[in-house]
Structures are given as C-alpha cells and as structure tokens.
Amino acid sequence: MPPTSQPWPERVPVLIAGGGPVGLALSALLARHGIASLVVEADEGYCSGSRAICMSRRSLEILGWAGADAATVATGLAWVGGRSYYRDTEVLHFRMPSEPHERFAPMVNIQQYYIEEYAHRAAQDVGTLSDVRFGARVAAVHAADDGVTVEIDTGGGSARVAAQWLVACDGGRSTVREQLGLRMEGMQYEGRYVIVDIEQDTRREVERLAWFDPPSNPGSTILMHRQPGNVWRIDYQIRDDEDADAAVRPENVLPRVQSHLDMIGESAPWKPLWISIYNAKCLTLPRYRYGRVLFAGDAAHLVPIFGVRGLNSGLDDAGNLAWKLAWVLRGHAEASLLDSYSDERVHATRQNIAYGAKSTEFMAPPDFAFRLMREAALRLALDHPEVRSLINPRQSAPIDYAGSPLNGPSDFDDAPGAAPGCPAPEASLLRGAETVHLSQSFGRAFTLLCFQADGAVPDALGALAAGKAGPPVQWLVVAPAAAPGGDGVLRDAHGQAWQRYGATHGTLYLIRPDGYVLARWRQPDPDRVQAALAPFLLNLPAGASDAS
C-alpha cells in the first residue's frame, strides 16, 4: 500500500502505534464516537499469512460497532464445533452454544489480513477522523503529564506529532513498551508449532480439527482449520530437539503436510502459501495505563493461541477502551475512567492466560509428567465418554469483570440474570416486523433497558426517558410478544430477553457502551439511576437529549 503524500499533523487527540487489527479496529471505533486518531504502521500494508484466524461471537459484535461485521461475515466461514482424534480414532466431538435466531455464529474463520482491511475500510467510511499511515514507524516516545510527543520515522524523513493520548497496539515487540522501559511478566512454553497455509479445494465441513499422535506424523499434534479462498491452516508440533530454522524450510514442511493430507483423504492438488513458527507465551504487563500511554492487544499481553484468545482478547481491549477514551476526550468523564480499562482488561488477561495455559499444557505438554497424563486421558477417552471433556479446547468467551470499580448496584439478591460486571446477554427481538438483536444497540451509548409488560415506561422514570439524563444515553423498552405499545417498543418474540435477564415487570438494566452490565434494579428509583450514571455525564450541553 503506497504511503500517503499528506503532510503530518502537528497535534492529534489520539495516536495509535500499530495498524494491525486491534489498532485499526480501535481507530474505527473512535471514529464512530467522533474522535480523531492517527494510526502509524511500520509495514507497507496489511499483514501476510493467516496469523489469527478464529473470530469469536464477541469479536464480531465489536467489529459490528466499528462497522466491519457485514464484510467479515460475508467472507468468513462460520463454525460451531470440532473434532479431536487420538491417532486415527475420534475421541471428542464438541459443539458450542448456537441457536436458530442468533446474530453471529460462535466462531468465524477468516484470515487476519481481511480483518485489517475491513476495519480500515470501516474507519474510512466514517469520514476523515481516522488517518492511517503505512510504512511509518514510531521511533521515540516522550511522555509528559499532559500528553505524549512521538517521533516518527516516515520512511523518507521524520515527523514529530503531539498527542493527548498514545495507544500502543504495536505487537509483541512493542517499540512503545521498550521506550517506556516496561517488561511483561509471566512465562513462555518450550513447545513449538509450525504454521502452514496451503491452498487446496475441499468439501470437508468447517470445524476445528485436532489429531494427537496421528499415524501421518507420529508423536506430533496437528490442528486444521478451513479458511476463505480454499485455504487450509495447518499447525503441527515439532520435536524439542528440532532446529527452528530447519523446521520451516519447505523441503521439511511439505512432506509432513502431504503425509497428513494423504491420511485424511484430501487428495486434491495443493500448494503452500505461507510458513511460520510459533511457541506459546503467557505474558502481560502489570497494568495497561501509564499516564497518557495505554496498551492494547499483543503490546499489552501475549496469550496462547489454543482456545483462540489472542486477537479476540485484543479486540475486546479495543471495545473496552474506545468508549472510555471517547468519554474522557469529550469531557463526559474524568481521566481516571481509563484506570478501569487497565483494571478490567488485566483481570481478563489473567483469566485468559489461566484458560490458555491449561489448553497449552494439553496441546503441547511441557514435560514428561504432562505427556503421561495426556496419554492416559486420550487412551481413556476411547472408551469412556466422561473423560472427553478433558480434551475440550475451551474456546474464547467474554470475561466477567468481577470486582470492577465501575460495577454499580443490584437489588436482585440471588435471582437469575446478568449481574453488574457481566456481559449483557444477547437476545433476538422484533421492532415492528423487523428482527433485531440487542447487541446491535450497544457500542455508542449507555443503554437503559426497561422490561415492561405493557410496553410503556413507568411515570416515575419519565424524566429520564424524556432524555433529561442527557447524551450519551438511550432507552430501550422490551415487552412480551403480545403486549401493546408503540413502534419504539422491542417485542420479545422468543422470550429470550426476559428469561436471560431474569426480568419481571419493571426491571431496569443499565448497560455500558461496550455491552457490559453496570447496574440493575427490580424496583428502579430515578435518583439512584441518575447517581449510577453521574460519573459518565460530566460537562454535558444544556438540554441535549440524543445518543450521539
């Protein structure tokens, strides 16, 4: 992608170091909030090779708020489960939760370069708020209390840009992290996997496939995923004593791939597209905010690929950070709101690392004892279904923000429903004759979600419903399928929303822009609702009443 000939700005609200999928998605999300950003990416264009390939349902929701979901779903290959084999015998067939009325499949396979393209395009669709510069590299960072000055190697010269906030999305070898003298904490596993993209026509179902000690590659573990464009992604483990440089040479890779394709009956002609090598890391910065510098994605944390928590956790960083950064820049909240970004996402990373470590220890046992236990589990799974859950790869899922400083009140006691700090459950609803999904309403504003048997907002909450709470707050009223009410009422045609939110007549949820529950009430009081919103409604224009 040719570099832009535009002059470099002297000042920007947000400078994003790194134009991978997390940086580009963050820029698109900020643009939707009306916040300008400058993205600086060292590569000349989008990445090569599949890299991250499995997009979770949560990531698709976030891409939807950015405006990149339709293209992702149209290109990607949806899947709901997978199979694992011990040698050549199936020992696990798992399926993730899925239903006929869902907005997104549990997982969609799509190469990372598509996500980068679609996020970039979505940012451009908003207008001129997202300025992306490829072929330029962050060279130095000078942080101060009131902003950050960044020196940039532009490829043909240099530039200095002052930013109110710098977000480091520049990957596992982050220059920003190095400039600030920061080190990640955690551990790295020794087990290594060769990653191969090949092009081959196949009719096989789209699902996650895994083989342990297959006859095609004895002693190894092999993973396969179908991708768009007749591409297979193949990951296979190499021996501890194999040389890494030799392991990725085509003359060593291609026979192993051919042997496995022969074993599973994939006989169509094929050709290699990309070869790389990987080993699992469980690393994180201790916090993700350092003054005016924030970290996201691989610059903040490195988690194992098993369970597909890498890019998915990075996109969750972007979804969490975008609205908070926008609120601070627009004067709706104090800068301390960004501390909650660090608190919540460090907590999520530690959860992802814990899950990812368990998967890694099964997929790539770190020592003889782990290998022995895995062998025993696989052998038992041949005849004992109750053991097969040990083989489950524990796919990525959104993390509850237990203990978040943002979590507000709840008077539900032990009743069912999503508590503060939990992801707001999805539901398929009707607006008139149109099917809509609740997650489509999140992303830009706080949502007051009211459950009313008659479809009408109670008089006691009328002032808030009329918009006096100010932007950015929106109201949604959910009524049973047969209830009366106006055109703005959402009807719970399948009973999903009332059941999943544990709702009774009058129940009110306050949901954050990133789709997490902030507070909930069985008996909402306007003053208490206003108090829960107060930290996010600073310096609002008098009389403003929309959610923009």
The tens place of each residue's pLDDT in the chain, 548 residues long, gives: 655 568 999 999 999 999 999 999 999 999 999 999 999 999 999 999 889 999 999 999 999 999 999 999 999 999 999 999 999 999 999 999 999 899 999 999 999 999 999 999 999 999 999 999 999 999 999 999 999 999 999 988 999 999 999 999 999 999 999 999 999 999 988 789 999 999 999 999 999 999 999 999 999 999 999 999 999 999 999 988 899 999 999 999 999 999 999 999 999 999 999 999 998 899 999 999 999 999 999 999 999 888 788 899 999 999 999 999 999 999 999 999 999 999 999 999 999 998 888 888 888 888 888 888 888 989 988 988 888 887 877 777 889 998 999 999 999 987 677 999 999 999 999 998 899 999 999 999 999 999 999 888 777 776 676 654 556 899 999 999 887 656 678 999 899 999 999 999 999 999 999 999 999 999 899 999 999 999 998 876 554 433 33
Structure tokens at 467: 């918009």
Looking at residue 410, its amino acid is S
Listing DSSP states for 32-78 in one string gives HTT--EEEEESSSSS--S--S-EEEHHHHHHHHHHT-HHHHHHHSEE
Determine which helix (DSSP H) or strand (DSSP E) holds 340, and give its type and residue range.
helix 337-363
Structure tokens at 359: 């998967």
Structure tokens at 300: 């903040």
Angle between helices 57-66 and 310-329 (to 10 degrees): 40
Q: Which of 470, 464, 440 is nearest to 330 (CA)?
A: 470
pLDDT of residue 417: 75
Q: Which of 535, 490, 497, 536 is nearest to 513 (CA)?
A: 536
Q: Report the alpha-carbon distance of residue 196 to residue 200 in Å, rounded.
A: 12
Structure tokens at 127: 């207008």
Query: What are the φ/ψ torsions at residue 467 (nearest 5 degrees)?
Result: 105, 5
CA 291 vs. chain centroid, Å, equals 24
Contact 227, 111 (CB under 8 A): yes
Structure tokens at 456: 């009408």
Q: Which of 429, 449, 452 is nearest to 505 (CA)?
A: 452
Strand order in the sheet with 77-79: 54-56, 107-109, 77-79
Helix, strand or coil, per DSSP, at residue 357: helix
Q: Is 195 exposed, middle or buried (0-12, 13-18, 19+ CB in 10 A)?
A: buried
Q: Which of 43, 35, 67 is nearest to 133 (CA)?
A: 43
Structure tokens at 346: 């460090």
- Sequence spans of domains, the chain: 11-78+102-186+282-362, 187-280, 428-536
- Could you confirm whether domain 428-536 is CATH 3.40.30.10? yes
Query: What are the φ/ψ torsions at residue 187 (nearest 5 degrees)?
Result: -140, 165
CATH of 187-280 given 3.90.1010.10, 3.30.9.10, 3.30.590.10, 3.30.540.10: 3.30.9.10
Which residue(s) pair with 225 in the sheet? 233
Helix, strand or coil, per DSSP, at residue 110: coil
Q: Report the alpha-carbon distance of residue 117 to residue 286 in Å, rounded.
A: 31
Structure tokens at 185: 């904490």
> 185-200 and 270-284: which strand pairing?
antiparallel
* Contacts with 537 (C-beta within 8 Å, 6 or more apart), sequence order: 332, 469, 470, 473
Class of domain 11-78+102-186+282-362: alpha beta
Instruction: Report how far apart the first and last C-alpha atoms of the chain are (Å, whole number).
Output: 33
Contact 159, 28 (CB under 8 A): no
* Contacts with 103 (C-beta within 8 Å, 6 or more apart), sequence order: 60, 61, 426, 428, 437, 439, 440
CA 288 vs. chain centroid, Å, equals 16
DSSP state of 310: H
Using CA atoms of 427, 430, 435, 440 in order, give the dihedral in degrees to the nearest 10. -50
Which residue(s) pair with 82 in the sheet? 94, 208
Whole-model pTM: value is 0.94
Q: Is 241 exposed, middle or buried (0-12, 13-18, 19+ CB in 10 A)?
A: exposed
| Range list of β-strands (E), 396-536 | 428-431, 434-437, 446-451, 473-480, 490-492, 508-511, 517-521
Helix, strand or coil, per DSSP, at residue 112: helix
Q: Report the alpha-carbon distance of residue 402 to residue 366 in Å, rounded.
A: 31
Helix, strand or coil, per DSSP, at residue 414: coil
